[in-house]
Amino acid sequence: MSNQDVQMKDDESQSQSKPSFHSDSASTLQHLKEAASFIEAASSTKEVRRISRAVRLTVALRRKLTAAVLSAFLDFALLPGSEAHAHLSAYLKNDKHDMEVDNDAAASPVQVPAKHALPELDIYCYLLVILFLIDQKRYDEAKACSSASIARIKSFNRRTVDVLASRLYFYYSFCYELTGNLAEIRGNLLALHRIATLRHDELGQETLLNLLLRNYLHYNLYDQAEKLRSKAPRFEAHSNQQFCRYLFYLGKIRTIQLEYTDAKESLLQAARKAPLAAQGFRIQCNKWAVLVRLLLGEIPERIIFMQKGMEKALRPYFELTNAVRIGDLELFRNVAAKFSGTFSKDQTHNLIVRLRHNVIRTGLRNISISYSRISLADVAEKLRLVSGNPIADAESIVAKAIRDGAIEASLDHANGWMVSKETGDIYSTNEPQAAFNSRIAFCLNMHNEAVRALRFPPNPHKEKESAERRERQQQEQELANHIAEDDDDDDF
């Protein structure tokens, strides 16, 4: 085959790929214009759900955004020469040569008349550029652009901007977190939360509260996070994603404060409510939930660690759970040392240290069930206690376990024995009743949440009552007119 034939085939392949390349960009621009039409309709009719629809459409288009497409959309949506147009176009100048958009092919029947600039479109354009800069890993420019967008949001007090503003709040904090400067914006986030509260922007309050909690927890400021959470106004959740994040942060705070029961409930609820697509978030919830359940003395089910796509991430916690279940202190030390880097990265190393006591208690419970009487020296050997005086340590551990009710046994100090009592019938106690009560409460709580999550027509009972009232008034008016006509006939 000659070089000329090869060159001709290359030219043909390029000519075939070029139209599809332009068609993809034209389709993306077409969808962006459609989103702009939703935003304009929402601005005129004050329907916030149209803004949410435009945001969902944007999420689907995020990976298709290019500098040329965004530049064409800015020319379409913003007034040429305006401050926002000039500021945003500056971030796209370096990438304009990547591709060209065929404006004739991208022409759409959806047209937004840009006779005057809409604040919603202004904020939406900022959001698109920030998403593009983050995907291109231009984090410093994204940080500067997000700071400029926050400055513009403060000047707008419109309910139709709230949905877009909540997204910008998130990416504003995310950009600073990516650059390692999260502490710099804490004061600004507090000011934005105060503004959102004064404007009754409940979605903005939800988002900013979660961002502030994340900011505090990032630097291990758990006390300050709890003070803010306890004093912040609470209301019915507007966003399932934000509510899941709030439950996760609340579970982490409760765990650090040793309130394991409340922490377990919050973390399991966050993992259950999280979308299936948010796999990373669900992995984090499961990691903390596993540790909390281990600290409560429970052993998580094996199926938790076998969830699709989570086996590798939860493997360290599976081995840790196995060590706690067996009560082998030596195995626990090996697992903690083997995955110390993973635990430090997950910020769960302090919780792993707390688990040592649970491992010892589990091993002691197994010993008390297996032996009716055993010497303290053998207890220390089986627990693999490493200390200067293991027998004295074993005696103190056994005494504390007996006092806490962890084991049914007695301590013979003179002979150095631990004497176990006979195991009674658990069904003669209140434990089965307590277990059934907790399961029933869980089912009732899930039912109530499902009912609250349902969407109902706005005030249908009031509309029915008003229709009945109008019909009754009309009947009364007709009866009064009929009586008046009868009276007139009697007069004649």
Q: Which residue has the higher pLDDT, 11 or 121?
A: 121
Ranked by mean pLDDT, the top range of 173-177, 421-425, 468-472 is 173-177
| The pLDDT of residue 164 is above 50 | yes
pTM: 0.74
Q: Which residue has the higher pLDDT, 82 or 352?
A: 352
Average confidence (pLDDT) over 264-276: 88
- Confidence label for 251 from pLDDT (cuts 50, 70 and 90): very high
Q: What contacts 286, CB < 8 A, 6 or more positions away? A: 271, 304, 307, 310, 314, 317
Domain boundaries defined on the chain: 31-90+117-181, 371-432
**23: number of Cβ within 10 Å:** 13
| The pLDDT of residue 23 is above 70 | no
| The pLDDT of residue 11 is above 70 | no
371-432 placed in CATH 3.40.50: no
- Confidence label for 95 from pLDDT (cuts 50, 70 and 90): low
pLDDT of 28-64, one tens digit each? Answer: 777 778 777 777 777 777 777 777 787 788 778 778 8
Q: How big is the chain by its Cα radius of gyration, in Å?
A: 33
Average confidence (pLDDT) over 284-305: 88
Q: Which residue has the higher pLDDT, 117 or 327?
A: 327
Place of tokens 């409560």: 296
Picking from 30-44, 178-192, 253-267, which range would have the lowest pLDDT averaged per residue?
30-44
- Confidence label for 181 from pLDDT (cuts 50, 70 and 90): confident
